Structure 1
Amino acid sequence: MPLLWLLSWQAQAVVDISSSPLAINPAPQVAVLEDETAQLAIEQILEPAEPLPWQQLQQEVPNFGFTHSAWWLRLELANDSAAPLRRLLELASPLPDFIDAYAVDAEGRVVQQWSTGSRRPFATRPVRHHAFVLPVLVGANETRQVYVRMASHDGLVPATPLRLMDDVRFLERTQSELMSYSVLYGGLLALLLYNLLTFLATREKAFLHSVFYLGAFLLFNLSLRGFGYQFLWPEWPRFNQQILLLSAGLLYVALTLFSLDYLTLKRQAPRLAKGLVVLTGLLVLSILPSLADRFAWTLRALVPLSIGYALLLLGTAAWLSFQGDRLARIFLLGWGGLLAGGALYALRLGGFVPYGLATEYALEAGAGFGFLLMAFGLACKINRLKRAKLDAERETYELQRTLNHQLETQVLQRTQELEQANRKLAAMVRTDPLTGLLNRRQFETLINEEIQRRHRDGKPLLFAMMDVDDFKLFNDTYGHQAGDEVLVEVAALLKAHFRRAGDRLFRLGGEEFGILLEADSFEAGRFALERFRHSLQQLQIPHQASQHGVVTGSFGLVCCSDYDQLPAAMAVYRHADQAMYEAKQISRNRVVARSVMAEV
């Protein structure tokens, strides 16, 4: 045995496997060495150029965290019995990237060697197990030095509990473990299928989101515990690395969707809901580097964001619970149980709490408790919806009874309102909305009626058209709003001047107005128009573009008693229009009258 190797073999406690048949944690007897260059091979470990700085492991669980160094563990096993023994050294985490292990005899020779890890095919594992199990053979009255090298792909060496046991204890433990996980996964699948069928029956989105949530957790736990790599994708080590963090991202998205729906956060706490969605988006973005095999980067961002997410959701549920929301109280209890289980499991991985069944399966126990409460909460939610539906039906029935008692009064009231509305509608149909004068349609109807009536009575019909002078220029100068105000003033002046029972006032379009006069004679009608023309000019409405400087009007008056020549409203309109345009051509602001009288 080389002298340097002897010097580097520092004294340490030896595990006597002949007197320790039970499963133990050998961490107190483990020495650890940091290889900062990650270049040391087993030969350099056994025959160092100078003594290596081995140190006693100070943790119950080896946990090196974010580091680019390779880490060596050394454990000495002694068999003082007269028969060879085999012991199984379990590295109880499926997450380390690269594991190289060596069993060295007392002469410094490597007698057993293993190279495995989560980034190597599953077939490299000496024992088909979801974690890493190394079968160490120790001859009668011999010792074995076991060296384990742990290295990472991109700077993260996860916490890896150690267990040392014989085959019988390993088999018992594996059977108990598989039974526990079978119950958990079977229960999750049963709950998932139940919620899926319930969603298909009720179409309640909370059940669909719970299916997504359960499925995401199931995939995450299968990846975290190594069962997915063992049973589902043993030939895909790269996918095995990525699926853990991707399933964590799916879990956050699913939990957010479920929480928003179950707690109705968008209605009860919209700002908190928005914050939860934003934080979920950041979590998903932080997971994307894992697609490029940068898991250390991902975890550096994921851990603080996950803590913030958990606290925000916990605080939201607590606030709603304080407001008296029963569903929020159930959610708070279930989510708190899951968080407590996850925190206890993380503390066990970090060596802050001792190993035991409670700490080893705290995550699964907390999740199972949370999912059972989730199922109970969904049942309560359905009952709440049923009660709300029954209350709504009861209120509808009471409302119908009230409406039946008030029906006659309301029908009468509605009838009166309808008649009033019809009158308003009829007035709207007959009148111009801007000026309140009769519109073009009423002009044709009323003039035709007047022609027939006056023809029977043998009386003349006097009709005048008026056009505001240079109105387009007025609009161009003062704007259309001012133009509308002028039309309203003209209409008001018309109403003030022509108030006899037979007078009818029309707005025929744009700035054109029509006047059906109840006058005794042709001269009386002309006089009434002149009087109105003068009043309009006296309003002194400024009009810079007009030759008169103010708003004026041109009028065309037709007096008709020969109804053979003017048999209908449009014929009267054309004669009055021609007279009005004649007034405009002369000088505007004047009245031009025409008489269409029957020959006697």
Structure 2
Amino acid sequence: MRCSLAGLPVGMAKGMAFLVWLFFTSSTWQAQAGVNIAPAADVIKPASRTLMFEDAAGQLDIDQLLAQGDTLPWQPLQHEVANFGFTDSTWWLWLKLENNSAMPLRRLLTLSSSLPDYVEAYVVDEERRIVQQWETGSRRAFSSRPVRHHTFVLPIYFGPEESRDVFVRLSSHDGLLLATPLFVMDDVRFLERTQSELMAYSLLYGGLLALLLYNLLTWLATRERGFFYSVLYLGAFLFLNFILRGFGFQYLWPERPHFTQPMLLLSVGLLYGALTLFSVDYLNLRRKAPYLVKLLWILTGLIGLGLLPALGGHFSRPIQWLIPLGSSYALLLLGAAGWLCLKKDRLAAIFLVAWGGFLVGIVLYFLRLGGIVPYGLGSEYALELGAAFSFLLLAFGLAFKINRLKRDKQTAERKHYELQRRHTRELESKVQQRTRELEEANRKLSAMVRTDPLTGLLNRRQFETLIDEEIQRRQRYGKPLLFAMMDIDEFKPYNDTYGHQAGDEVLIEVAKLLKRHFRRAGDRLFRLGGEEFGILLEADSLQEGSLALERFRHALQQLSIPHKASGYGVVTGSFGLICCNDYGQMPTAMAVYRQADQAMYEAKQNNRNRVVSRLLASKTSA
């Protein structure tokens, strides 16, 4: 007979070992340390006295748990948040709450996260009877929550000197359980906390909305693309944060719980797209580092593709896809800004500090979720504070950019003026000996000022001078004013495909064709900039002007200049024509230009290669 335990028979030794194991495991229920909830002065963080249990199969219900609870392998929670990450398991949390006072109490157990898919909570009395229970979660209707709050708030009732065991079952439909901080508080603390939270979010959302509206109005006034992209960026972040914090589910789709995760990841995709547009324009990467633009758009596209499964309700895999790609994207932006900083680019320095502040907020937010950084106002709102800091600094950077452009323009104009003065003095000093040379130089200078050197057409400055004269002349003689703007369709893709030299040749051919078609004494042709041309027509009616433009449009298409990027296969143009024959109130040059530009834009929006004609009402001239 084999023996162990100081000579006892093997069978008896096994029996004693089993009794010892049974003693220690059966004492788990009784030995679970309780949390005294009677003091109401502070918010209680019960994580240090909370146990967790992994149900890998996800089949255990509360009755089975209570029957086996003493023998299950409960483990203490390691951090002040319940953080399980990517897992297909169901997790149970167990905490014991004790009312050591002689009066009945109500306490609120708060799961301070808006995103757990399924939350089931059970309150068990000292005789292991379920006295309260809830089934809620972000994938159940908002009405399932016992307290209408963007997080999960569970009201638990205690009699005098009574304890309660609380079991919380957390599960996910797709294998992702996000971090969930736990708090216990009374109604007063909850109200104070909620008021502080709402005040913080009101200030954040109000401030960012004000900044968004300011940028929108500035964009409408200046048409500076950076402000428009900042509006997209700000709007995408606000939408993302509104959903992430649970307000979207609470206020926008409370009875459609399956909207939250797809909308959340959709807003993430919008955020990356808007950020790419903004960053490329803000840092002027198309000119300074075009290869980085391609890399950014490749990463943005990969992020967007990775988020597509979210539309089918799969949340875990897009998050796993987003982590490495999002990190690579952030590092690439930081690297680009840092590289430009080394080249003494002040805008890049502002961007680097702003983007770095945002990333610090993101890192602190996730460190708090992981329990690495303790809970506090700074870590709780680190994401929002980082974003607010970033957006304010970037707004300052945009203003700095506009001012710098103004200064550069003023400097260029001043240098040009000084150059003209110096040239004039030099010419005056030689006037007696070189009269004919001076006249020739003045003639050439006048031609340069009036005409576009590439096409030979009148330039934008001459347009601004002549248009006012034409308005007055045609008013004096009672003739209608017809002005058209033309834009070569898809000209930028043409340059990208065939090269800028080929693009210049197209501009020259278009100018030649304009000169052949518009040869009346009163016709004026302008190159207004880039691929835009202006035509001041000598015509008696809007219909006559439209027919003239249609003939030119057809002739341009018949040139059959190949254009792969155009839907028509050849170079075409879009035209906006306005006619003013009511001089009750004289129209301004700006009104004429703006209305023609809008008509041309309408032509481009309607599949291009067409003429859009309008009568200019007198009220638009104000």
TM-score bin (small chain): 0.5 to 0.7
Alignment partner of 1:118 is 2:138: yes
1:52 maps to 72
Do the aligned partners of 1:98 and 1:150 also contact (CA within 8 Å) in 2? yes
* Structure 1 position 201 matched with structure 2 position 221: yes
| Deviations 1:456-510, CA, capped at 9 Å, x for gaps | xxxxxxxxxxxxxxxxxxxxxxxxxxxxxxxxxxxxxxxxxxxxxxxxxxxxxxx
Q: How does 1:139-538 map to 2 (within 5 A)?
A: 139-401=159-421, 404=424, 409=437, 412=440
1:579-598 Cα deviation digits (max 9, x unpaired): xxxxxxxxxxxxxxxxxxxx
Relative distance call for 1:327 and 1:9 in structure 2 (3 A) is: same
The DSSP-based 3-state class of the residue aligned with 1:47 is helix
- Superposed CA deviations along residues 384-418 of structure 1, whole A, max 9, x for unmatched, are 111122122223323444565569527648999xx
- Alignment-derived partner of residue 419 in structure 1: none
Corresponding residue SS for 1:161: strand
Letter in 2 for 1:158: L
Equivalent-residue separation in structure 2 for 1:185 and 1:100 (angstroms): 32
The CA deviation at 1:231 is: 1.7
How far off its partner does 1:48 sit?
A: 2.0
- Cα distance change, pair 146–415 in 1 and its aligned pair in 2 (3 A): closer
Whole-angstrom CA distance in 1 between matches of 2:242 and 2:26: 44
Q: Aligned pair count?
A: 414
1:582 maps to: none
Q: Post-superposition shift, 1:284?
A: 1.1
| Structure 1 contact 4–50 (Cα < 8 Å) conserved | no
Question: Does the C-alpha gap of structure 1 residues 69 and 415 become closer, same or farther in structure 2, counting only changes over 3 Å?
Answer: closer
- Aligned partners of 2:29 and 2:70 also within 8 Å: no
Alpha-carbon shift at residue 300 of structure 1 (Å): 0.7
Aligned-pair CA distance for 1:49:
8.8
Distance in 2, Cα, partners of 1:60 & 1:314? 32
Displacement of 1:140: 0.9
CA distance in 2, matches of 1:367, 1:273: 23
Alpha-carbon shift at residue 138 of structure 1 (Å) = 1.2
Q: 1:415 to 1:259 in 2, by over 3 A?
A: closer
Q: 2:85, 2:206 → 1: CA distance?
A: 33
Return the letter of the residue paired with 2:99: N
* CA-CA distance at 1:18 after TM superposition: 1.2
Contact 1:5 1:48 in 2 (8 A): no
Separation in 1, partners of 2:223, 2:438? 39
Q: In 1, are the aligned partners of 2:208 and 2:234 still within 8 Å (CA)?
A: yes
Q: Which segments of 5 or more consecutive residues in structure 1 lack a partner in the other structure? A: 417-600
Contact 1:4 1:47 in 2 (8 A): no
The separation in 1 between residues aligned to 2:70 and 2:361, in whole angstroms, is 46
Post-superposition Cα deviations, 1:268-290, rounded to whole Å, max 9, x if no partner, equal: 11122221111111111111110
Q: Distance in 1 between matches of 2:135 and 2:162?
A: 24
| Cα RMSD for the two superposed structures | 2.1
Assess, with a 3 A threshold, how the Cα gap between structure 1 residues 153 and 412 changes in structure 2: closer, same or farther: same
2:35 is the alignment partner of 1:38: no
Alignment of 1:133 with 2:153, yes or no, is: yes
Extract structure 1 runs of 4+ deviating beyond 4 A.
3-8, 402-408, 410-416
- Which amino acid is the alignment partner of residue 261 of structure 1? D
CA distance in 1, matches of 2:110, 2:100: 22
| Identity value in percent | 61
Greater Cα shift, 393-402 or 374-383: 393-402
Q: For residue 102 of structure 2, what is the amino acid of its counterpart? A: A
Taking a change above 3 Å as real, the CA distance of residues 49 and 413 of structure 1, as seen in their structure-2 partners, is closer
What CA distance in whole angstroms lies between the structure 1 residues aligned with 2:155 and 2:194? 15
In structure 2, do the counterparts of structure 1 residues 7 and 196 end up closer, same or farther at CA, with 3 Å as the change threshold? same
AA partner of residue 171 (structure 2): A
- d(CA) in 2 for partners of 1:107 and 1:185? 48
Which letter maps to 1:188?
L
1:232 Cα shift?
Answer: 2.0
User: 2 CA distance for matches of 1:71 and 1:413?
Assistant: 88
Letter of the 1:242 counterpart = P
